[in-house]
Structure 1
Amino acid sequence: MKKLLMRLPLLLVAALAVPAGAAEFADGTTDLPKPRFVSIKGGSAMMRSGPGERFPILWEYKRVGLPMEILKEYEIWRQVRDPDGTIGWMNKALLTGRRTGIVRDQQRLLYVAPDMKSRIAWRIAPGAVVNITLCEDIWCRVSKDGKSGYILRGQMWGTYAREKIEG
């Protein structure tokens, strides 16, 4: 896939990195809302103290899919906050728009329907990263390792209160 992308015209490559309906400007910034949630694309992502490679590395993240919150944009750099509240800068190439969440505090129950009276689908450990497929009101439908279920939005980090997610 990487070789294929290298052969595509530059304009098309830029379009692939930004969701449909969003614009990417010549300086590398977008018209996407800030703040917003994204996730780490690959197996190694460096968080720096400032927007550029000359700034020291604060952290190296090795968890694909870890949710991050974009606070600001500066050229190809994104100021991000991690689930622990640490703020730093990452190159936009290290991030993806795929929505994920991280389970907070303790083991949580996931239900077969968005209702605490429905059957329990499975239990999930704190710190688990899940794919978010749907969020409405106080519930989100998530999946991990072929299992899916509904979790209360407040039991994970990676969405805003009442944010609607379809995907």
Structure 2
Amino acid sequence: MKKRPFIAQWIAAICLIAIADLPAHAQGTTIGPSGLKIPRFVSLKSDRVNVRGGPSTDHKVKWVFRRAGLPVEIVHEFENWRQIRDSEGEEGWVYHSLLSGRRTALISPWQTAGTLVDLLRNPAEDAPVAAKAQVGVQVDITECERGWCEVAVQSYSGWLKANLLWGVYPNEEIN
């Protein structure tokens, strides 16, 4: 009879651990070998980045990015290699030193080219327009809070809803 309370306590402890760990698993976030979260957004450090079919230089180059600052999502890590996904959903492997922690995003790349989006002066639906930007434009992220992100492109800045950006997770906080 003394073993039953111990077993019940053990099962309760496991359940509590599982519940405490639930938010990380619910979001699909894990910690990679680098000690950083996976998935996460980063940007390309160079104007020429080879994307390979696997995590070594023995794998063929699938395509080459030619735009520094372009946002990509790290979805897996293996040693010094990062499996990335671009805004079109294509995946490949990039050496870690070609990536930067600088946060950038693309404005609504899923919308029709040429469409204009309002950058607002404040993070509010009724805020005055600070500038207009075309969809697909690459922006630097200054900060994100409560579903809004302050972005900058060239000499213009303003606020956009986070769901209009590819390069930011829903409700992600960036300071």
- Please report the TM-score for the alignment, with normalisation by the length of structure 1: 0.80
State how 1:127-146 maps to structure 2 within 5 Å.
Answer: 127-146=136-155
| CA distances 1:90-133 after superposition (whole Å, capped 9, x unpaired) | 00111000000001123211000001211101111111110001
Contact map agreement 2:147 2:172 (CA 8 A) in 1 = no
Helix, strand or coil for the counterpart of 1:93?
A: helix
Helix, strand or coil for the counterpart of 1:165?
A: coil
Helix, strand or coil for the counterpart of 1:88?
A: strand
Q: 1:160 aligns with which of 124, 145, 169?
A: 169
**Which stretches in structure 2 are left out of the alignment for 5+ residues?**
1-32
What is the CA–CA distance in structure 1 between the aligned matches of 2:61 and 2:116, rounded to whole Å? 32
Q: 1:119 aligns with which of 128, 138, 149?
A: 128
Residue equivalent to 1:92: 96
Residue equivalent to 1:55: 59
- Structure with higher Rg: it is 2
| CA distances 1:55-109 after superposition (whole Å, capped 9, x unpaired) | 1111111111100000111111000000111011000111000000001123211
Residue equivalent to 2:14: none
Percent of aligned positions that are identical: 38
What is the CA–CA distance in structure 2 between the aligned matches of 1:157 and 1:66, rounded to whole Å? 10
Counting matched residue pairs gives 139
What is the CA–CA distance in structure 1 between the aligned matches of 2:116 and 2:53, rounded to whole Å? 33
Query: What do you get for the CA RMSD once the two structures are aligned?
Result: 1.2
- Is 1:72 aligned to 2:50, yes or no? no
- Please report the TM-score for the alignment, with normalisation by the length of structure 2: 0.77
Q: 2:38 aligns with which of 27, 34, 38?
A: 34
